[in-house]
Structure 1
Protein backbone atom coordinates (compact mmCIF):
# COMPACT_ATOMS: atom_id res chain seq x y z
CA UNK A 1 0.00 0.00 0.00
CA UNK A 2 1.09 3.63 -0.38
CA UNK A 3 2.84 4.98 2.70
CA UNK A 4 1.38 8.52 2.51
CA UNK A 5 -2.15 9.77 1.98
CA UNK A 6 -1.72 13.55 1.99
CA UNK A 7 1.11 15.75 0.71
CA UNK A 8 3.36 17.21 3.39
CA UNK A 9 4.98 20.64 2.86
CA UNK A 10 8.47 19.23 3.28
CA UNK A 11 7.73 16.45 0.78
CA UNK A 12 6.63 18.97 -1.82
CA UNK A 13 9.69 21.14 -1.15
CA UNK A 14 11.96 18.10 -1.48
CA UNK A 15 10.24 17.18 -4.73
CA UNK A 16 10.74 20.69 -6.11
CA UNK A 17 14.42 20.52 -5.12
CA UNK A 18 14.72 17.17 -6.90
CA UNK A 19 13.27 18.74 -10.05
CA UNK A 20 15.82 21.56 -9.85
CA UNK A 21 18.62 19.02 -9.43
CA UNK A 22 17.39 17.08 -12.44
CA UNK A 23 17.41 20.17 -14.64
CA UNK A 24 20.95 21.01 -13.52
CA UNK A 25 22.09 17.43 -14.14
CA UNK A 26 20.72 17.03 -17.66
CA UNK A 27 22.11 20.41 -18.81
CA UNK A 28 25.57 19.91 -17.29
CA UNK A 29 28.68 19.58 -19.52
CA UNK A 30 28.48 15.79 -19.06
CA UNK A 31 24.70 15.67 -18.72
CA UNK A 32 22.25 13.74 -20.86
CA UNK A 33 21.70 16.63 -23.29
CA UNK A 34 25.43 17.07 -23.89
CA UNK A 35 26.03 13.64 -25.44
CA UNK A 36 26.52 14.21 -29.18
CA UNK A 37 28.29 11.02 -30.25
CA UNK A 38 28.69 7.39 -29.25
CA UNK A 39 31.20 5.63 -31.49
CA UNK A 40 32.31 2.00 -31.27
CA UNK A 41 35.95 1.42 -32.23
CA UNK A 42 36.30 -2.00 -33.81
CA UNK A 43 40.06 -1.60 -34.18
CA UNK A 44 40.65 -0.87 -30.48
CA UNK A 45 40.81 -3.09 -27.39
CA UNK A 46 40.36 -2.37 -23.67
CA UNK A 47 44.14 -1.97 -23.52
CA UNK A 48 44.33 0.64 -26.29
CA UNK A 49 41.06 2.56 -26.09
CA UNK A 50 42.31 5.14 -23.58
CA UNK A 51 45.10 6.22 -25.92
CA UNK A 52 42.68 6.35 -28.84
CA UNK A 53 40.29 8.49 -26.80
CA UNK A 54 43.10 10.87 -25.86
CA UNK A 55 44.02 11.30 -29.53
CA UNK A 56 40.40 12.04 -30.44
CA UNK A 57 40.08 14.47 -27.52
CA UNK A 58 43.12 16.41 -28.69
CA UNK A 59 41.29 17.24 -31.93
CA UNK A 60 38.17 18.62 -30.22
CA UNK A 61 37.25 22.29 -29.70
CA UNK A 62 36.85 23.87 -26.29
CA UNK A 63 33.88 22.59 -24.32
CA UNK A 64 34.04 19.04 -25.71
CA UNK A 65 34.96 16.11 -23.47
CA UNK A 66 35.77 12.58 -24.65
CA UNK A 67 35.17 9.53 -22.45
CA UNK A 68 35.42 5.79 -23.02
CA UNK A 69 32.89 3.00 -22.55
CA UNK A 70 32.55 -0.70 -23.17
CA UNK A 71 29.82 -3.26 -23.70
CA UNK A 72 29.38 -6.87 -24.76
CA UNK A 73 28.82 -7.37 -28.48
CA UNK A 74 25.40 -8.95 -29.00
CA UNK A 75 26.56 -11.37 -31.70
CA UNK A 76 30.06 -12.35 -30.58
CA UNK A 77 29.80 -11.99 -26.81
CA UNK A 78 33.18 -10.23 -26.86
CA UNK A 79 34.08 -6.94 -25.20
CA UNK A 80 33.49 -3.93 -27.44
CA UNK A 81 35.02 -0.54 -26.67
CA UNK A 82 34.16 2.94 -27.80
CA UNK A 83 34.13 6.64 -27.07
CA UNK A 84 31.57 9.27 -26.26
CA UNK A 85 31.77 12.96 -27.10
CA UNK A 86 30.07 15.43 -24.78
CA UNK A 87 29.60 19.02 -25.90
CA UNK A 88 28.85 21.69 -23.28
CA UNK A 89 27.40 23.76 -26.14
CA UNK A 90 25.36 20.96 -27.72
CA UNK A 91 22.34 22.07 -29.77
CA UNK A 92 20.04 20.07 -27.48
CA UNK A 93 21.13 22.10 -24.46
CA UNK A 94 20.34 25.36 -26.23
CA UNK A 95 16.96 24.07 -27.38
CA UNK A 96 15.98 22.48 -24.05
CA UNK A 97 12.71 23.89 -22.73
CA UNK A 98 12.23 21.80 -19.60
CA UNK A 99 10.85 18.48 -18.38
CA UNK A 100 7.11 18.22 -17.97
CA UNK A 101 5.95 16.37 -14.86
CA UNK A 102 2.76 15.07 -13.32
CA UNK A 103 1.62 16.90 -10.17
CA UNK A 104 3.17 15.57 -6.97
CA UNK A 105 0.92 12.84 -5.52
CA UNK A 106 1.81 11.14 -2.21
CA UNK A 107 -0.42 8.21 -3.15
CA UNK A 108 2.34 7.18 -5.57
CA UNK A 109 4.88 6.68 -2.78
CA UNK A 110 4.74 2.90 -2.65
CA UNK A 111 6.28 0.48 -0.15
CA UNK A 112 7.53 -2.85 -1.42
CA UNK A 113 9.53 -5.86 -0.30
CA UNK A 114 12.96 -6.65 -1.71
CA UNK A 115 13.87 -10.34 -1.67
CA UNK A 116 17.40 -11.25 -2.78
CA UNK A 117 18.21 -14.27 -4.91
CA UNK A 118 21.23 -16.53 -4.67
CA UNK A 119 24.01 -16.06 -7.19
CA UNK A 120 24.26 -13.55 -10.01
CA UNK A 121 20.88 -13.83 -11.66
CA UNK A 122 20.46 -12.02 -14.95
CA UNK A 123 17.29 -10.96 -16.74
CA UNK A 124 17.08 -10.09 -20.46
CA UNK A 125 16.28 -6.44 -21.17
CA UNK A 126 15.55 -5.30 -24.70
CA UNK A 127 17.46 -2.10 -25.55
CA UNK A 128 16.13 0.72 -27.66
CA UNK A 129 18.94 0.70 -30.28
CA UNK A 130 19.50 -3.06 -30.53
CA UNK A 131 16.81 -3.79 -33.15
CA UNK A 132 14.93 -6.17 -30.87
CA UNK A 133 18.04 -7.66 -29.28
CA UNK A 134 18.27 -8.20 -25.53
CA UNK A 135 21.13 -7.78 -23.06
CA UNK A 136 21.43 -9.71 -19.83
CA UNK A 137 21.50 -7.40 -16.79
CA UNK A 138 22.21 -8.48 -13.21
CA UNK A 139 18.99 -8.46 -11.16
CA UNK A 140 19.96 -9.31 -7.56
CA UNK A 141 16.43 -9.79 -6.24
CA UNK A 142 12.69 -9.33 -6.65
CA UNK A 143 10.63 -6.27 -5.72
CA UNK A 144 7.14 -7.33 -4.65
CA UNK A 145 4.17 -5.09 -3.88
CA UNK A 146 0.43 -4.86 -4.35
CA UNK A 147 -1.17 -1.95 -6.17
CA UNK A 148 -4.89 -1.56 -6.81
CA UNK A 149 -5.42 -5.20 -5.91
CA UNK A 150 -2.75 -6.47 -8.30
CA UNK A 151 0.44 -8.08 -7.01
CA UNK A 152 3.58 -7.15 -8.94
CA UNK A 153 6.96 -8.86 -8.88
CA UNK A 154 9.33 -6.49 -10.63
CA UNK A 155 12.97 -6.72 -11.67
CA UNK A 156 15.35 -3.85 -10.87
CA UNK A 157 18.93 -4.19 -12.07
CA UNK A 158 22.20 -3.29 -10.42
CA UNK A 159 23.20 0.17 -11.67
CA UNK A 160 26.56 0.74 -10.02
CA UNK A 161 25.41 -0.38 -6.58
CA UNK A 162 21.90 1.08 -6.75
CA UNK A 163 18.75 -0.71 -7.87
CA UNK A 164 17.29 0.86 -11.01
CA UNK A 165 13.73 0.01 -11.98
CA UNK A 166 12.84 0.32 -15.67
CA UNK A 167 9.05 0.33 -15.90
CA UNK A 168 6.25 0.98 -18.31
CA UNK A 169 2.59 1.93 -17.99
CA UNK A 170 -0.40 2.89 -20.11
CA UNK A 171 0.69 6.54 -20.38
CA UNK A 172 3.80 5.68 -22.42
CA UNK A 173 3.62 7.25 -25.86
CA UNK A 174 0.21 8.80 -25.33
CA UNK A 175 -0.02 12.08 -27.23
CA UNK A 176 -1.90 14.21 -24.70
CA UNK A 177 -1.36 15.88 -21.33
CA UNK A 178 -1.47 12.52 -19.55
CA UNK A 179 1.15 10.96 -21.81
CA UNK A 180 4.72 10.05 -20.88
CA UNK A 181 7.94 9.08 -22.68
CA UNK A 182 7.18 6.27 -25.10
CA UNK A 183 9.92 3.80 -24.18
CA UNK A 184 9.15 3.77 -20.45
CA UNK A 185 10.65 5.50 -17.45
CA UNK A 186 13.31 4.89 -14.80
CA UNK A 187 13.18 4.95 -10.99
CA UNK A 188 15.88 4.48 -8.37
CA UNK A 189 14.74 2.14 -5.59
CA UNK A 190 15.19 3.46 -2.05
CA UNK A 191 15.92 1.13 0.86
CA UNK A 192 14.53 2.00 4.29
CA UNK A 193 17.53 0.41 6.03
CA UNK A 194 21.25 -0.02 5.43
CA UNK A 195 20.90 -3.46 3.90
CA UNK A 196 22.60 -4.38 0.67
CA UNK A 197 21.61 -6.55 -2.26
CA UNK A 198 22.17 -9.69 -0.18
CA UNK A 199 19.59 -8.92 2.50
CA UNK A 200 15.81 -8.78 2.37
CA UNK A 201 14.06 -5.63 3.48
CA UNK A 202 11.51 -2.93 2.84
CA UNK A 203 12.05 -0.55 -0.06
CA UNK A 204 10.28 2.58 -1.22
CA UNK A 205 9.22 3.25 -4.79
CA UNK A 206 8.55 6.99 -4.93
CA UNK A 207 7.09 7.18 -8.41
CA UNK A 208 6.98 10.97 -8.12
CA UNK A 209 10.70 10.67 -8.84
CA UNK A 210 10.28 8.52 -11.92
CA UNK A 211 12.39 10.08 -14.65
CA UNK A 212 12.72 10.15 -18.40
CA UNK A 213 15.66 7.90 -19.36
CA UNK A 214 18.77 9.33 -21.01
CA UNK A 215 17.56 8.29 -24.47
CA UNK A 216 14.79 10.87 -24.12
CA UNK A 217 17.48 13.58 -24.16
CA UNK A 218 19.91 12.21 -26.76
CA UNK A 219 19.65 9.55 -29.46
CA UNK A 220 23.22 8.53 -28.63
CA UNK A 221 22.08 6.43 -25.66
CA UNK A 222 21.02 2.79 -25.82
CA UNK A 223 18.51 2.53 -22.98
CA UNK A 224 17.01 -0.67 -21.58
CA UNK A 225 13.27 -1.03 -22.03
CA UNK A 226 10.77 -2.44 -19.52
CA UNK A 227 10.48 -6.25 -19.49
CA UNK A 228 6.92 -7.64 -19.30
CA UNK A 229 6.96 -8.05 -15.52
CA UNK A 230 7.76 -4.34 -15.09
CA UNK A 231 4.69 -3.03 -16.87
CA UNK A 232 1.63 -1.56 -15.18
CA UNK A 233 -1.68 -2.21 -16.91
CA UNK A 234 -3.09 1.22 -16.04
CA UNK A 235 -1.93 4.82 -15.88
CA UNK A 236 0.93 5.79 -13.58
CA UNK A 237 0.31 9.52 -13.22
CA UNK A 238 3.45 10.50 -11.32
CA UNK A 239 6.98 11.63 -12.04
CA UNK A 240 8.47 13.10 -15.18
CA UNK A 241 6.41 12.91 -18.35
CA UNK A 242 8.36 14.12 -21.36
CA UNK A 243 11.23 16.38 -22.39
CA UNK A 244 10.30 19.65 -24.09
CA UNK A 245 12.42 21.38 -26.75
CA UNK A 246 11.90 24.52 -28.81
CA UNK A 247 9.42 23.96 -31.64
CA UNK A 248 12.13 24.40 -34.29
CA UNK A 249 14.37 21.68 -32.78
CA UNK A 250 14.20 18.02 -33.84
CA UNK A 251 16.09 15.74 -31.46
CA UNK A 252 16.16 12.93 -34.02
CA UNK A 253 17.67 15.12 -36.73
CA UNK A 254 20.75 16.06 -34.68
Structure 2
Protein backbone atom coordinates (compact mmCIF):
# COMPACT_ATOMS: atom_id res chain seq x y z
CA UNK A 1 0.00 0.00 0.00
CA UNK A 2 1.24 3.50 -0.86
CA UNK A 3 0.17 6.19 1.57
CA UNK A 4 -0.14 9.89 0.80
CA UNK A 5 3.08 11.83 1.22
CA UNK A 6 3.43 13.77 4.46
CA UNK A 7 3.57 16.88 2.30
CA UNK A 8 2.19 17.46 -1.21
CA UNK A 9 4.62 16.14 -3.82
CA UNK A 10 4.54 19.05 -6.25
CA UNK A 11 6.18 22.41 -5.67
CA UNK A 12 3.38 24.27 -7.46
CA UNK A 13 0.94 23.57 -4.64
CA UNK A 14 0.19 26.29 -2.11
CA UNK A 15 -1.71 24.11 0.35
CA UNK A 16 -0.55 24.50 3.94
CA UNK A 17 0.76 21.60 5.98
CA UNK A 18 -2.23 21.90 8.32
CA UNK A 19 -4.65 21.62 5.40
CA UNK A 20 -2.78 18.66 3.92
CA UNK A 21 -2.76 16.88 7.27
CA UNK A 22 -6.50 17.46 7.75
CA UNK A 23 -7.17 15.91 4.35
CA UNK A 24 -4.62 13.09 4.12
CA UNK A 25 -4.11 11.81 7.67
CA UNK A 26 -5.17 8.25 8.55
CA UNK A 27 -8.70 9.34 9.51
CA UNK A 28 -8.71 12.64 7.63
CA UNK A 29 -11.20 13.99 5.13
CA UNK A 30 -10.02 11.74 2.28
CA UNK A 31 -10.40 8.57 4.38
CA UNK A 32 -14.21 8.58 4.37
CA UNK A 33 -15.32 5.28 2.84
CA UNK A 34 -19.01 5.07 3.79
CA UNK A 35 -21.86 7.16 5.16
CA UNK A 36 -24.67 4.91 6.41
CA UNK A 37 -28.06 6.43 7.30
CA UNK A 38 -29.51 4.44 10.18
CA UNK A 39 -32.94 3.45 11.42
CA UNK A 40 -34.17 1.63 14.52
CA UNK A 41 -33.25 -1.83 13.22
CA UNK A 42 -29.81 -3.14 14.23
CA UNK A 43 -27.94 -4.44 11.19
CA UNK A 44 -24.45 -4.80 9.75
CA UNK A 45 -23.13 -2.09 7.44
CA UNK A 46 -20.26 -2.13 4.96
CA UNK A 47 -16.91 -1.36 6.53
CA UNK A 48 -18.25 -1.12 10.08
CA UNK A 49 -17.68 -3.95 12.57
CA UNK A 50 -20.64 -5.03 14.66
CA UNK A 51 -24.24 -3.93 14.15
CA UNK A 52 -25.65 -0.40 14.24
CA UNK A 53 -28.97 1.32 14.80
CA UNK A 54 -30.43 4.73 15.61
CA UNK A 55 -31.80 5.42 19.08
CA UNK A 56 -33.23 8.84 20.01
CA UNK A 57 -30.92 10.63 17.57
CA UNK A 58 -27.80 8.76 18.69
CA UNK A 59 -25.85 6.03 16.88
CA UNK A 60 -25.72 2.76 18.84
CA UNK A 61 -23.35 -0.11 18.03
CA UNK A 62 -23.09 -3.63 19.44
CA UNK A 63 -20.78 -6.60 19.08
CA UNK A 64 -17.51 -4.70 18.78
CA UNK A 65 -14.39 -3.92 20.78
CA UNK A 66 -12.80 -0.51 20.54
CA UNK A 67 -9.05 -0.14 19.96
CA UNK A 68 -8.59 1.29 23.45
CA UNK A 69 -8.26 -1.60 25.95
CA UNK A 70 -10.55 0.04 28.46
CA UNK A 71 -13.36 0.55 25.93
CA UNK A 72 -16.62 -1.35 26.57
CA UNK A 73 -17.69 -4.40 24.60
CA UNK A 74 -21.40 -3.80 25.21
CA UNK A 75 -23.51 -1.22 23.40
CA UNK A 76 -21.57 1.83 22.30
CA UNK A 77 -23.57 5.06 22.12
CA UNK A 78 -22.21 7.83 19.90
CA UNK A 79 -23.87 11.24 19.96
CA UNK A 80 -23.50 13.33 16.79
CA UNK A 81 -19.85 14.35 16.53
CA UNK A 82 -18.56 11.47 18.68
CA UNK A 83 -16.26 8.82 17.22
CA UNK A 84 -14.82 5.43 18.10
CA UNK A 85 -11.72 3.73 16.65
CA UNK A 86 -12.17 0.02 15.95
CA UNK A 87 -9.80 -2.26 14.04
CA UNK A 88 -8.02 0.65 12.37
CA UNK A 89 -11.17 2.38 11.15
CA UNK A 90 -12.82 5.40 12.75
CA UNK A 91 -16.58 5.28 13.25
CA UNK A 92 -18.18 8.69 13.62
CA UNK A 93 -21.77 9.69 14.31
CA UNK A 94 -23.37 12.58 12.43
CA UNK A 95 -26.88 13.96 12.21
CA UNK A 96 -28.74 15.84 9.50
CA UNK A 97 -31.88 17.51 10.79
CA UNK A 98 -32.23 14.77 13.39
CA UNK A 99 -31.51 11.86 11.03
CA UNK A 100 -28.45 10.00 12.40
CA UNK A 101 -25.77 8.38 10.26
CA UNK A 102 -22.61 6.40 10.83
CA UNK A 103 -19.48 7.41 8.93
CA UNK A 104 -16.64 4.96 8.35
CA UNK A 105 -13.16 6.50 7.96
CA UNK A 106 -10.80 3.87 6.58
CA UNK A 107 -7.08 4.61 6.03
CA UNK A 108 -7.07 1.96 3.27
CA UNK A 109 -9.74 3.59 1.13
CA UNK A 110 -8.41 4.36 -2.40
CA UNK A 111 -9.50 7.99 -2.14
CA UNK A 112 -6.81 8.40 0.51
CA UNK A 113 -4.09 6.00 -0.62
CA UNK A 114 -4.13 7.37 -4.18
CA UNK A 115 -4.15 11.03 -3.14
CA UNK A 116 -0.90 12.79 -3.99
CA UNK A 117 -1.63 16.50 -3.77
CA UNK A 118 -4.13 19.33 -3.86
CA UNK A 119 -3.53 21.51 -6.90
CA UNK A 120 -4.10 25.25 -6.64
CA UNK A 121 -4.14 28.22 -8.95
CA UNK A 122 -1.19 30.60 -8.44
CA UNK A 123 -1.98 33.23 -5.83
CA UNK A 124 -3.17 36.45 -7.42
CA UNK A 125 -3.95 39.41 -5.15
CA UNK A 126 -6.19 40.86 -7.89
CA UNK A 127 -8.71 38.23 -6.84
CA UNK A 128 -9.12 39.89 -3.41
CA UNK A 129 -12.14 42.02 -4.28
CA UNK A 130 -14.05 44.64 -2.29
CA UNK A 131 -17.71 44.01 -1.61
CA UNK A 132 -20.61 45.07 0.56
CA UNK A 133 -22.51 42.73 2.85
CA UNK A 134 -26.28 43.19 3.05
CA UNK A 135 -28.18 41.29 5.76
CA UNK A 136 -31.22 39.29 4.73
CA UNK A 137 -34.69 40.56 5.57
CA UNK A 138 -36.32 39.15 8.69
CA UNK A 139 -38.02 35.86 7.94
CA UNK A 140 -36.20 35.28 4.65
CA UNK A 141 -35.41 31.63 3.97
CA UNK A 142 -32.79 29.92 1.83
CA UNK A 143 -33.28 26.43 0.40
CA UNK A 144 -30.03 24.45 0.62
CA UNK A 145 -29.69 21.51 -1.75
CA UNK A 146 -27.04 18.85 -1.13
CA UNK A 147 -25.20 16.68 -3.63
CA UNK A 148 -27.43 13.71 -2.77
CA UNK A 149 -30.56 15.71 -3.65
CA UNK A 150 -31.60 16.37 -0.06
CA UNK A 151 -33.10 19.83 0.51
CA UNK A 152 -33.45 21.77 3.72
CA UNK A 153 -34.52 25.28 4.65
CA UNK A 154 -32.54 27.60 6.87
CA UNK A 155 -32.83 31.29 7.79
CA UNK A 156 -31.10 33.47 5.20
CA UNK A 157 -28.02 35.39 6.39
CA UNK A 158 -27.51 37.82 3.54
CA UNK A 159 -25.61 38.56 0.35
CA UNK A 160 -22.37 40.22 -0.67
CA UNK A 161 -22.48 42.62 -3.63
CA UNK A 162 -19.29 42.94 -5.68
CA UNK A 163 -18.07 43.27 -9.24
CA UNK A 164 -16.12 40.67 -11.18
CA UNK A 165 -14.78 41.73 -14.56
CA UNK A 166 -17.12 44.71 -14.47
CA UNK A 167 -20.20 42.54 -13.97
CA UNK A 168 -22.28 42.79 -10.78
CA UNK A 169 -22.43 39.69 -8.59
CA UNK A 170 -24.60 38.91 -5.55
CA UNK A 171 -23.09 36.07 -3.53
CA UNK A 172 -25.40 34.27 -1.11
CA UNK A 173 -23.49 33.70 2.12
CA UNK A 174 -23.99 31.77 5.34
CA UNK A 175 -22.43 32.04 8.78
CA UNK A 176 -22.37 34.73 11.43
CA UNK A 177 -21.63 38.28 10.20
CA UNK A 178 -19.95 39.01 13.54
CA UNK A 179 -17.58 36.04 13.21
CA UNK A 180 -17.16 35.33 9.50
CA UNK A 181 -19.09 34.28 6.41
CA UNK A 182 -18.84 31.53 3.85
CA UNK A 183 -20.11 30.80 0.36
CA UNK A 184 -20.38 27.84 -1.98
CA UNK A 185 -19.32 28.89 -5.47
CA UNK A 186 -18.95 27.52 -8.97
CA UNK A 187 -17.41 29.32 -11.94
CA UNK A 188 -16.22 28.79 -15.50
CA UNK A 189 -13.27 26.69 -14.31
CA UNK A 190 -15.65 24.20 -12.65
CA UNK A 191 -15.57 20.76 -14.28
CA UNK A 192 -12.84 22.08 -16.61
CA UNK A 193 -9.71 23.01 -14.65
CA UNK A 194 -11.24 22.70 -11.19
CA UNK A 195 -13.66 20.61 -9.19
CA UNK A 196 -17.33 21.30 -9.87
CA UNK A 197 -17.67 23.75 -6.97
CA UNK A 198 -15.66 25.13 -4.08
CA UNK A 199 -16.10 26.56 -0.61
CA UNK A 200 -15.00 30.08 0.27
CA UNK A 201 -14.37 31.59 3.70
CA UNK A 202 -14.86 35.36 4.05
CA UNK A 203 -13.77 37.53 6.96
CA UNK A 204 -16.44 39.30 8.99
CA UNK A 205 -17.64 42.54 7.36
CA UNK A 206 -17.04 45.94 8.91
CA UNK A 207 -19.83 47.81 10.67
CA UNK A 208 -20.77 49.53 7.39
CA UNK A 209 -20.89 46.21 5.52
CA UNK A 210 -17.56 46.63 3.74
CA UNK A 211 -15.90 43.27 3.19
CA UNK A 212 -13.08 41.73 1.18
CA UNK A 213 -13.88 38.61 -0.82
CA UNK A 214 -10.55 36.89 -1.38
CA UNK A 215 -11.06 34.11 -3.91
CA UNK A 216 -7.52 32.90 -3.16
CA UNK A 217 -9.14 31.40 -0.04
CA UNK A 218 -11.42 29.12 -2.10
CA UNK A 219 -10.92 25.48 -1.19
CA UNK A 220 -12.16 22.06 -2.22
CA UNK A 221 -15.23 20.71 -0.41
CA UNK A 222 -14.99 17.34 1.37
CA UNK A 223 -16.89 15.65 -1.47
CA UNK A 224 -13.91 16.39 -3.77
CA UNK A 225 -12.09 13.72 -1.75
CA UNK A 226 -14.92 11.22 -1.17
CA UNK A 227 -18.30 10.64 -2.79
CA UNK A 228 -19.75 9.79 0.62
CA UNK A 229 -20.02 13.38 1.88
CA UNK A 230 -23.25 15.33 1.45
CA UNK A 231 -21.91 18.79 0.61
CA UNK A 232 -24.23 21.71 -0.14
CA UNK A 233 -24.37 22.83 -3.78
CA UNK A 234 -23.93 26.44 -4.91
CA UNK A 235 -27.17 28.43 -5.22
CA UNK A 236 -27.95 29.76 -8.70
CA UNK A 237 -26.56 33.25 -8.08
CA UNK A 238 -23.25 31.78 -6.83
CA UNK A 239 -22.64 30.07 -10.19
CA UNK A 240 -20.36 32.63 -11.80
CA UNK A 241 -19.93 32.99 -15.57
CA UNK A 242 -16.28 34.07 -15.29
CA UNK A 243 -13.18 31.97 -14.66
CA UNK A 244 -12.08 32.37 -11.04
CA UNK A 245 -8.44 31.31 -11.29
CA UNK A 246 -7.68 31.49 -7.58
CA UNK A 247 -7.61 29.08 -4.65
CA UNK A 248 -7.57 25.30 -4.61
CA UNK A 249 -8.79 23.73 -7.81
CA UNK A 250 -8.56 19.92 -7.87
CA UNK A 251 -6.82 16.84 -6.51
CA UNK A 252 -4.00 14.85 -8.05
CA UNK A 253 -4.25 11.08 -7.68
CA UNK A 254 -1.69 8.34 -8.32
Instruction: Give the TM-score taking structure 1 as reference length.
Output: 0.73
Deviation (angstroms), 1:233 = 0.9
Flag the structure with more relative contact order, 1 or 2, with Cα contacts below 8 A and sequence separation at least 6.
Answer: 1
Taking structure 1 as reference, are residues 48 and 103 closer, same or farther at Cα in structure 2, changes over 3 Å only? closer
Taking structure 1 as reference, are residues 120 and 99 closer, same or farther at Cα in structure 2, changes over 3 Å only? farther
Taking structure 1 as reference, are residues 119 and 244 closer, same or farther at Cα in structure 2, changes over 3 Å only? same
> Greater share of strand residues, 1 or 2?
2
Task: Work out whether residues 27 and 89 of structure 2, in 8 Å CA contact, stay in contact via their aligned partners in 1.
Answer: no
**1:42-82 deviation per Cα after TM superposition (whole angstroms, max 9, x unaligned):** 215562624x147667496433221211113xxxxxx3111
Deviation (angstroms), 1:231 = 1.5
Taking only aligned residues, the RMSD between alpha carbons, in angstroms, comes to 2.6
Task: Work out whether residues 57 and 95 of structure 2, in 8 Å CA contact, stay in contact via their aligned partners in 1.
Answer: no
Tell me the distance in 2 between the aligned counterparts of 1:49 and 1:31. 22
Verify: 1:99 aligned to 2:118, yes or no.
Answer: yes
Secondary structure of 2:16's partner? helix
Structure-1 residue corresponding to 2:185 = 167
Structure-1 residue corresponding to 2:194 = 180
Which structure 1 residue ranges, 5 or more long, are not aligned?
A: 1-14, 73-78, 194-198, 247-254
**1:13-66 deviation per Cα after TM superposition (whole angstroms, max 9, x unaligned):** xx94x533221111134421011111111215562624x147667496433221
Structure-2 residue corresponding to 1:244 = 252
One of 169, 173, 193 as aligned partner of 1:156: 173
Structure-1 residue corresponding to 2:135 = 116
Structure-2 residue corresponding to 1:223 = 231
Which structure 2 residue ranges, 5 or more long, are not aligned?
A: 1-12, 41-52, 67-72, 74-84
Taking structure 1 as reference, are residues 162 and 82 closer, same or farther at Cα in structure 2, changes over 3 Å only? farther
Deviation (angstroms), 1:162 = 4.4
Looking at CA atoms only, which structure, 1 or 2, has the larger radius of gyration?
A: 2
Structure-2 residue corresponding to 1:12 = none
